[in-house]
């Protein structure tokens, strides 16, 4: 955790016996800037759904008002481990995995939203598989057990096709390696979110199913929220303004994302157009719609049915909807 230590050494002038007034120490602009910026540790998973966090980090928006350390993770379980260890104060994270960790006593609250998006199931372009129900007996490329993608795959996508997670062999891969697993016949199908879904489709993969993306939100450790409300409000100012930036300054933001994800041209599609296509399935917003909570509860129920949590979870208990004014739209 980044700690800022500032030691101010003031040498007083020796005054004569006549009683001359003491001089006040002069605070430099640099000292004032340091004093005004509280420290904050922020984590996010490196997927396009978390563009608000990635862009704010890359563009230095956090540093305008906060002294931050940011941490990028490959998957949700890694991020939640850092939260549980107290290494993060705030995180861009998914509701499905939150249900799992909150049931174990992780003391966090959801205070705002990040995005809506889509998750796609893809197969090779020349595959004879056209529907998920044809995957019985096949290897399915997923990600870490207990992650948002995993819960959606096992709890929603497979059951909707009349299958269970016992009907397929789910093997864990990083998102960036799932397309290669399909190409090398290590897996017949895989679940991808953005930008990896768009990469795969542009390179000729076939999409056979779609589901809502793992519901990304802003989490804050309860102790930090209670003890540092002004710091959290400063973060929220950045979060809200970055979402406006993503929606209003798209060309500039897209260039930042191309660099962040090291995106190259795909065939005759330029890198920035790849990002444009990927973002077509994403909507960035810090406000919740009332229907969002029904979906979050559906995910929580799926986690219980899969045995990831020991008892049902009421998702409303995981939210603090009073901290950010106007966080729920009517």
pLDDT at 66 over 90: yes
The per-residue pLDDT for 267 is 87
Q: In whole angstroms, give the CA distance from residue 261 to residue 8.
A: 42
The CATH class of the 37-117+215-318 domain is: alpha beta
- Please check the confidence at residue 108 and state whether its pLDDT lies above 90: yes
d(CA 216, CA 123): 25
Question: Is the per-residue pLDDT at 14 higher than 50?
Answer: no
**Banded pLDDT at 5 (limits 50, 70, 90):** very low
Residues of the chain with CATH 3.40.190.10: 37-117+215-318, 118-212
| 118-212 belongs to CATH 3.10.580.10 | no
Average pLDDT for 86-107: 91
pLDDT band at 36; cut points 50, 70, 90: confident
Alpha-carbon distances of 48 from 66, 121, 177, rounded to whole Å: 24, 17, 16
pTM: predicted TM-score of the whole model, two decimal places: 0.81
* pLDDT 10s digits, 237-274: 999 999 999 999 989 999 999 999 888 888 899 999 99
Q: What is the pLDDT of residues 172-222, one digit of tens each?
A: 998 889 999 999 999 999 999 888 999 999 999 999 999 987 679 999 999
Angstrom distance (rounded) from CA 97 to CA 325:
26
Q: Are strands 115-116 and 283-284 parallel, antiparallel or unpaired?
A: antiparallel
Q: What distance in Å separates the CA atoms of residue 88 and residue 175, rounded to the nearest whole number?
A: 23
């Amino acid at each position: 955790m980044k700690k800022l230590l500032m030691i101010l050494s003031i040498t007083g002038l020796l005054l004569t016996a006549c009683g001359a007034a003491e001089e006040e120490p002069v605070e430099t602009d640099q000292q004032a800037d340091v004093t005004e910026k509280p420290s904050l540790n922020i984590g996010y998973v490196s997927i396009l759904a978390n563009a608000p966090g990635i862009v704010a980090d890359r563009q230095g928006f956090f540093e305008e008002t906060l002294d931050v350390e940011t941490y990028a993770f490959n998957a949700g379980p890694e991020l939640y481990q850092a939260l549980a260890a107290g290494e993060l104060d705030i995180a861009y994270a998914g509701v499905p995995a939150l249900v799992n960790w909150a049931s174990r006593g992780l003391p966090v609250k959801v205070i705002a939203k990040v995005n809506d998006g889509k998750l796609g199931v893809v197969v090779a372009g020349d595959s004879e598989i056209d529907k998920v129900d044809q995957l019985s007996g096949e290897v399915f490329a997923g990600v870490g057990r207990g992650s948002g993608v995993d819960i959606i795959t096992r709890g929603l996508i497979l059951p909707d096709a009349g299958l269970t997670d016992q009907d397929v062999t789910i093997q864990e891969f990083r998102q960036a390696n799932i397309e290669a697993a399909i190409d090398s016949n290590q897996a017949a199908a895989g679940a991808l979110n953005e930008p990896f879904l768009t990469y795969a489709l542009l390179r000729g993969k076939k999409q056979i199913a779609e589901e809502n993306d793992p519901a990304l939100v802003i989490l804050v450790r309860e102790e930090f929220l209670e003890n540092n409300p002004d710091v959290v409000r400063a973060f929220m100012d950045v979060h809200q303004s970055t979402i406006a930036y993503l929606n209003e300054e798209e060309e500039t933001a897209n260039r930042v994302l191309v660099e962040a994800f090291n995106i190259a041209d795909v065939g005759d599609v330029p890198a920035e157009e790849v990002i444009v296509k990927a973002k077509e399935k994403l909507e960035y917003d810090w406000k919740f719609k009332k229907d969002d909570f029904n979906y979050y509860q559906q995910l929580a129920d799926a986690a219980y049915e899969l045995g990831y949590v020991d008892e049902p979870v009421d998702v409303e208990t995981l939210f603090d909807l009073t901290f950010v004014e106007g966080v729920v739209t009517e």
